[in-house]
Structure 1
Amino acid sequence: MDYVPPRMDWYYKHETHRGACMPQSDPPALLLKELRHPRVRDLFWACFSAPLMLNEQLPGVSAPVTNTAFTLSTQRQRWLQTLDTNPAPLLEHLEQNAATRLGLYFEALWHFFLAQDSEVDLLAHNLPVREGGRTLGEFDCIYYCHRRQQPVHLELAVKFYLQRRGGSSTWQDWLGPNSRDRLDLKLQRLLEHQSQLSRLPAGRAQLASIGIDDPLPEVEMKGYLFQHFREEGAGPPGFNPGRRLQQWCHHREVEALLAGSGEHHRILPRLQWLAPLFGPDSSASALEAGALLRRLSTHFAGPGSAQLVAAYDHKGIETRRFFVCSDQWPG
């Protein structure tokens, strides 16, 4: 039996819609000032910050798909503010879905939003697609959108890519901090494989088992792009013009990057890479430039991994973030 959604007549009186592929900017500063709980801020960033890439502006994609179409309505702002006051439901959800990897934490935030939001029904997530004992992939999220009266297959990704020093703006010159991941490979997998699972016979059969046929594919990639601090240029094709390129440097260049900044700093654990810092709580683990240099020197005395550093002003408001990589990166 096909999925039959409940009536949601109230929605059409309260919600407006903006096209999914209009350039969107970084998270609204006003709401960031209001939200204090770090998990609620991450939830806000995961679901309502501007996408990293605008899918319909990606060149050479044989099967284009849209970004998500969720707007930060007044109702959703109030929901986030209520959660900020009483985050227990979100914290309980995250505890039940404890994630040690950033991608899984990001997905768990999305699952909570889709399960709570009145506009949609979350029907399934992490739904595997198998054929002949082989796993072909999995559907990240299957939800029903009441506004569009349409089932949707949503693929999610949160990524951090650094432009190779002296590289071009093409996708293959944007690498993950570990230098093994590449933007071109990730986009190809998202757009050509993961988002197209519903076109495979095994994918259609799995969807039919939950009463879904022919869902609309969506892909949403969040994250940050980083450019060497001594280079300037545009982001890669399809990069959202409402987003700002961040910076990276080699360890030997940190003093030059910090020169005259007068900022405070925090080295961010991986699970704190999402929402920008904001407010007095940012002062925890504050490092002045000298302390940051000593901490990084100790870290890179061995084969240290790239470190993400947030810089913020005297009010605890993040002003920029940058990666510090080993002097051998990306080799």
Structure 2
Amino acid sequence: MFANREQIQADIKWLQRQFPLLSSEQFSLVPHGLFSAVSVSASKPYAGPRRIGFYYQWLLTELIHHHPHLRLEAEEIQVNEAGKTRGAIDFLIEYQGQLEHWEVAVKFYLAHQNRWLGPNAKDALDIKVARMIDHQLALSSHPSFCQQFPHWRPTQKRLMVQGRLYRHYSQDTDLPDWPPVNAASVGGWWCWPDELPTDREFAMLARDQWLSLPEFGELPPIVPGSLGNIDRTCHLLDNTQTPWFVVPNTWPNNAPSPAPKK
């Protein structure tokens, strides 16, 4: 998982060009295109945890190290309070003479009943954004952080959330209204098994192929009708290079309650 050097190079390029999930008009974001001209060789292997979020953060660290105008001051800074970990700050970055606090994530969400829900429905974009703003970005202003690290005083706080958003294939509905997203990040479909169209071919995507999508012809096609009784969400690619999530018939029976709107 995440060991293929060609895939790593493709994923770095994906990160450089992929649009943010969130609206730059509503949120303070790391500027799109900041890394577009950075050249990174994928000679260094990834050796971290086998979860896509850790892998994404490692890719971003590589780009930061190779950026001529960014300096990585620190990452994964643990903030402790009364002997307990209150949280961790993703990145402290020196950029244009200022110290910035960045919180980053890579996420995939499905539009359903005016919400963006995760493929397993345990996660939702409204909840993720609320936590990133109210908890994670707030850490660098927390008294415990200021006491532990008095030499760090970030003057700018930014989010960097990339990934992909998926519409329901059989329902041409408006996008969820909160949080405001970048429509350019909408790039796939989702459906229940009996809604999967029969006029195209599909192949299964491995977890390490979710960012930069491989060519459909490089993947073994799945047997039509084989997903009828799935008990977990499957990520597919069709023969038009469009990604799909096919969810179990029970989805989204475990969706969390919405976060309050800001």
TM-score (norm 2): 0.85
Q: Of the candidates 25, 43, 50, which is equivalent to residue 88 of structure 1?
A: 43
Letter in 2 for 1:110: L
Q: Does the CA-based 8 Å contact 1:310-1:322 persist in structure 2?
A: yes
Distance in structure 2 (CA, Å) of the matches to 1:153 and 1:123: 10
Distance in structure 1 (CA, Å) of the matches to 2:16 and 2:144: 29
Matched, 1:323 2:232: no
Q: Does the CA-based 8 Å contact 1:47-1:110 persist in structure 2?
A: no
Deviates further, 216-225 or 237-246: 237-246
Q: Of the candidates 197, 212, 218, which is equivalent to residue 284 of structure 1?
A: 218
Distance in structure 2 (CA, Å) of the matches to 1:248 and 1:236: 15
Q: Where do 5+ consecutive residues of structure 2 fail to align?
A: 254-262
Q: Does the CA-based 8 Å contact 2:65-2:72 persist in structure 1?
A: yes
Percentage of identical aligned residues: 26
Give the secondary-structure state (helix, strand or coil) at the position aligned to 1:56: coil
Q: Does the CA-based 8 Å contact 1:101-1:271 persist in structure 2?
A: no
Give the secondary-structure state (helix, strand or coil) at the position aligned to 1:37: helix
Q: Of the candidates 35, 38, 46, which is equivalent to residue 7 of structure 2?
A: 38
2:256 equivalent in structure 1: none
Q: Does the CA-based 8 Å contact 2:18-2:185 persist in structure 1?
A: no
CA distance change for structure 1 residues 212 and 181 in 2, over 3 Å: closer, same or farther?
Answer: same
1:26 equivalent in structure 2: none
Q: Of the candidates 148, 159, 164, which is equivalent to residue 224 of structure 1?
A: 164
Give the secondary-structure state (helix, strand or coil) at the position aligned to 2:62: helix
Within a 5 Å distance, the mapping from 1:44-63 to structure 2 comes to 44-57=13-26
Instruction: Select the structure of larger CA radius of gyration.
Output: 1
Distance in structure 2 (CA, Å) of the matches to 1:160 and 1:188: 16
Q: Where do 5+ consecutive residues of structure 1 fail to align?
A: 1-35, 58-64
Normalized per residue, the structure richer in strand is 2
- Structural RMSD (CA): 2.2
CA distance change for structure 1 residues 51 and 293 in 2, over 3 Å: closer, same or farther?
Answer: same
2:109 equivalent in structure 1: 161
Q: Of the candidates 59, 84, 87, which is equivalent to residue 134 of structure 1?
A: 84
Normalized per residue, the structure richer in helix is 1
2:234 equivalent in structure 1: 307
CA distance change for structure 1 residues 119 and 272 in 2, over 3 Å: closer, same or farther?
Answer: same
Q: Does the CA-based 8 Å contact 1:235-1:245 persist in structure 2?
A: no
Q: Does the CA-based 8 Å contact 1:198-1:207 persist in structure 2?
A: no
